Amino acid sequence: MYSDAELDAAVAEGAISPQAATALRDFVARHRAAPPADEEQFRLITGFNDIFVAIAMVLLLVALAWLAAMATPLAGAAALVAASWGLAEFFTRRRRMALPSILLLCAFAGSLFFCGLVLAKAVLDLAAPGKDDEGLAISGAAAIAVLGIWLHWRRFRVPITVAAGAGAAIAAVLAALVALVPALGERWLVLLFAAGLAMFALAMRWDMSDRARTTRRADVAFWLHLAAAPLIVHPVFALLGLLDGQAGIAHAALAIGLYVALAAVALVVDRRALLVSSLAYVLYAIFTLVRAAGAVDAGFALTALVVGSGLLLLSAFWRGARHAVLRAVPDALRTRMPAA
């Protein structure tokens, strides 16, 4: 099976013509009786070799970090940064392996953030000994991570990199705001909600630049949508008291209504990722309702039955549901969404 990214690479190298690539995509779309955009494709694995390499890679990176950390934790993180980049030169840039590339990017970003945190704390301690500047240290570390992730994107173009960079940028901004204006710490859920909307807007910008979803830009948008949904949903559910067990039946019903509204948005933009990444919250909300109704012993089973059945029905009738929802969308917006 050839991915869209590989077809684009073949066109770029002159192996096939752009017309042939388009014809092949059209044929596959007709054969599947659904346009590629409706399938919401993204590369995760191309074969078992991806899994095999990923397992070996995790073992190697853990061992390197462990051994280097025996000197200092900073040395362990720095070794992980260097090893992740070096392995990406082969497995990402040359072999174009999806799952190993994702793991390498996550290892690179996480270890770079830790290095930045250690360095930021050291600099702040020198500037103001004894002062608690945890927020500024986190902000500085996240800013360093953003720079490194941007360089990683310029070099390797792994689709998840943009979402990782956006997440690091959000962490840098929010940590700096709370550190500089402590009163904002009481409104961090509102800030998180605003960050989620910004992430969603960025995802839509990438999505609308490739309505047919045949290029890497669609994969970038997929990961951004996957990251945006929890940032939007978590603050709302937390404010409703669902995360600390204080919510009543009315709050749980409101949370379910929010998920239904999110499903409508997912249908409009044709992104199931919005529903998947916020699924845990609606499971908890429905479980609260089922438990309040007295079904304590079978509460989780009934919750899973309701949610699973609903999502399967939505998946089975996704195209028809999109047609119905898009009729209520203004023409100016509908023309910028993937074709139903």
pLDDT in 10s for each residue of the chain, 340 residues: 566 666 666 777 777 777 777 777 767 655 554 455 556 666 777 778 999 999 999 999 999 999 999 999 999 999 999 999 999 999 999 988 999 999 999 999 999 999 999 999 888 877 777 666 788 899 999 999 999 999 999 999 999 999 999 999 999 999 999 988 988 888 899 999 999 999 999 999 999 998 888 888 999 999 999 999 999 988 988 887 776 666 667 777 787 888 888 899 999 999 988 888 788 878 877 777 777 766 666 777 888 888 889 889 988 899 889 988 998 888 888 888 887 6
For the purposes of burial, counting CB atoms within 10 Å of the CB of 225, is it exposed (0-12), middle (13-18) or buried (19 or more)?
buried
Model-level pTM? 0.85
By the 8 A CB rule, do 246 and 214 touch?
A: no
DSSP, res 215: S
Number of residues in the chain: 340
C-alpha span between 202 and 225 (Å, rounded): 9
C-alpha span between 207 and 196 (Å, rounded): 16
DSSP, res 254: H
Alpha helices, DSSP H only, in 128-187? 134-156, 160-180
Helix (H, G, I), strand (E, B) or coil at 264: helix
For residue 146, CA distances in Å to 142, 151, 153, 154, 173 come to: 6, 9, 10, 12, 11
Q: Which residues, other chains included, contact 333 with Cβ-Cβ below 8 Å and sequence gap of 6+?
A: 268
Per-residue pLDDT at 245: 60
Q: Which residues, other chains included, contact 230 with Cβ-Cβ below 8 Å and sequence gap of 6+?
A: 196, 277, 278, 281
Q: Which of 321, 218, 233, 307 is nearest to 277 (CA)?
A: 233
